[in-house]
Chains A and B, each alone.
Chain A
C-alpha cells in the first residue's frame, strides 16, 4: 500500500470552479512532486518542492495553479479556475533525502471537470 496519501480520490467540478487536492508525503521525504496523467497515460510534470520551497514548475502551473507544501501540513495543489482539459489523474510523489531519483507515488486524485 502506498505511504503517500492523496485526498480526495475523486473530485468533480464545473468549469470555472476551484479544484483543490492534497498530499501527505511519506514520512521523512523532503522532496514532493506533482504530475498530471491524462487519459492517454501521458505524464506532465507540474511542480516540485524541497521542504517548503518550490524547485521547478511549468508555466501552466505558475499561471493557473496554486501549490504549497507547508511544514507540518499536507501539500496542496489547487486549480484556480477549472477547465475541461484539466480532467486527469493528479499524482503526488515524494522522494527521500540522498536518494532523489526514486519516486514514491500516491494513488492520485482523479479530477473530472464537467
Chain B
C-alpha cells in the first residue's frame, strides 16, 4: 500500500524567502506526482504536477522529481504572505488503482 510522507510538518518563513517542501513515497511504480494548496476554510486546489524525472517551473513555483530516490519537492521562490496555506502532495500509482494518495500536509506561514 502506497505510503506518502511530507516534511516538515510546519514551516514559518519571512516574506521573500525561498521555501522548500518535501514529499516521499513508497511505491516505485508511482506515475503521477502533484502538489495541492489548501487555504484555511477553502477547497484544496491543484498547484503543479509532474510525470517524469526532472524539474518543472511555473512562475514562482518549481517542482522537482527524483523517482529513484522516491522523492519530490516543491520550491516557492520569493514567498508571499498569500502563500500561507496547507500544502499537500499527492501520488498516483499505475495499474488501474486510480485513487491518489495524499500526504498529511505541510502548514506554511509566510510572515511580512
* Chain A interface residues (CB < 8 Å from chain B): 2, 4, 33, 35, 40-43, 45, 48, 55-56, 91, 93, 100-108
**In the complex, which residues of chain B have a beta carbon less than 8 angstroms from the beta carbon of A56?**
97-99
Instruction: State which of B43, B88, B107 has its C-beta within 8 Å of the C-beta of A107.
Output: B43
Smallest beta-carbon distance A60→chain B, Å = 14
B44 touches A41 (CB 8 A): no
Residues of B within 8 Å of A107, CB to CB, are 41-43
Can you name 21 A-B residue pairings with CB atoms under 8 Å? Answer: A2-B43, A4-B43, A33-B99, A41-B86, A41-B104, A41-B105, A43-B104, A45-B99, A45-B100, A48-B98, A48-B99, A55-B98, A56-B97, A102-B34, A102-B46, A103-B36, A103-B46, A104-B46, A106-B43, A107-B41, A108-B43
- A91 / chain B contacts, CB cutoff of 8 Å: 43-44
A56 vs B110: C-alpha distance when bound (angstroms): 38
Flag whether B3 is at the interface (Cβ < 8 A). Answer: no
Q: Does B97 lie within 8 Å of A103, measured CB to CB?
A: no
Count, chain B residues at interface, CB 8 A:
23
Give every chain B residue within 8 A of A102 (Cβ-Cβ).
Answer: 34, 46, 49
Question: Known contacts A4-B43, A43-B88, A108-B43; is A103 also within 8 Å of B100 by CB?
Answer: yes
Q: Does B102 contact A (CB under 8 A)?
A: yes
B44 engages A105 (CB within 8 Å): yes
| Complex alpha-carbon distance, A24 and B92, angstroms | 24
Closest to A50 in B: B98
